Amino acid sequence: MAQTVKRAYKYRFYPTPEQACELARTFGCVRLVYNKALEERTRAFTLEGRRVSYAESSAALTAWKREEELAFLNGVSSVPLQQALRHLQAAFANFFAKRAKHPTFKSRKKSRASAEYTRSAFRYRDGQLTLAKMDAPLDIVWSRPLPQGAQPSTVTVSRDAAGRWFVSLLVEETIRPLTPTGNAVGLDAGITSLVALSHPIDDLTDQDGRVANPRHERADRRRLAKAQRSLARKAAGSANRAKARLKVARAHARISDRRRDFLHKLSTRLVHENQVVVIEDLTVRHMVKNHSLARAISDASWRELRSMLAYKTAWYGRELVVIDRWFPSSKLCSACGTLAESMPLHVRTWACACGAVHDRDVNAARNILAAGLAES
């Protein structure tokens, strides 16, 4: 059955100098309002034990605009400022429900520069998007079309550390499930190979079922290191340091863009070709504490792959099964079910008493698939 989901379409755009100046002012005002509201909420809760509501924060914003030193807040659209308060309200709701940590202050250098506009603060007509306080539409590179007849409900404008401008349009889209298939696949995450599959797939894996790890960070490590050394030699606060910082940010952006593109293609193919996808419940935040493997684990980005598999299986009528992290997938013989006493990490191939010779990762993927199908 088709389902209607909210989906964001992200595009790059190139603002005029006037638009860039207006957006930069908006980013600064959003950050200021968020931080002042957070300060007031924290003070009220710490000193008075009182929780501040969104309505109180909104009234405080109105009062701030009347102050002489904060009168510049009237020069930007009020919608992104109100949205900042709503985001802070959601952050505190998650904190009090113990789903997240206490909200932190936004930094001009470290936090993402962004502003969110609702329907009343933008106009989308004939494929052109115009934001409040602007006379001309944004010069957007429409790399892919929006769904037929879709109208954005919110628009988020952002600028990354590399100086690139992006606009994200949230629309409602009807997604039809894929044709059911009897295929199922188990995934074992790794470092030597990004993932090992329970069975090989043409043009995706080698003959054993392993997907090669592209190691995007390692491929660009020399370029990144050179840019970082150049940044370290620049005087703090100088124009040359700003240029060097931009080169470092661009190197990081290149790595993350290539990694995300690869994971999207991999996850999409796995979801399209299999009715059931089975993975392990890995705790990456604990695994990266191993200083010998932390860099490689971060480069593999297993958590992002799992996130992609989760929402794509939900979209297309597939099933994602997550098995317990303590399941002994590597020590269990997929042929006879014998459990080995130990299996150190350096052992990549092992033979069972039944005569079966296993590749460690492929054998683990087969056991993960069997356990997932049993749960499903």
Is there a contact between 114 and 27 (Cβ–Cβ < 8 Å)? yes
Give the C-alpha separation, 15 to 139, whole Å. 6
Comparing CA positions, the residue from 182, 195, 214 lying closest to residue 368 is 195
Residue 188 designated active-site: yes
Task: Round to the nearest angstrom and report the end-to-end CA distance of the chain.
Answer: 20
Among the options 116, 217, 299, 361, which is catalytic?
A: 361
Residue 135 designated active-site: no
Give the C-alpha separation, 216 to 299, whole Å. 7
Q: Extract the tokens encoding 218.
A: 């390692």
Among the options 22, 188, 217, 299, which is catalytic?
A: 188
Residue 280 designated active-site: yes
Amino acid at residue number 120: S
Among the options 280, 319, 324, 341, which is catalytic?
A: 280
Comparing CA positions, the residue from 328, 327, 318, 286 lying closest to residue 303 is 286
* Angle made by CA atoms 53, 58, 63, in degrees to the nearest 5: 125
Segment 265-272 long-range contacts (CB within 8 Å, at least 24 positions apart):
266/194, 266/195, 266/204, 266/211, 266/305, 267/305, 267/308, 267/309, 267/312, 268/312, 269/201, 269/204, 270/185, 270/187, 270/309, 271/178, 271/309, 271/312, 271/313, 271/316, 271/318, 272/178, 272/316
Catalytic residues: 188, 280, 361
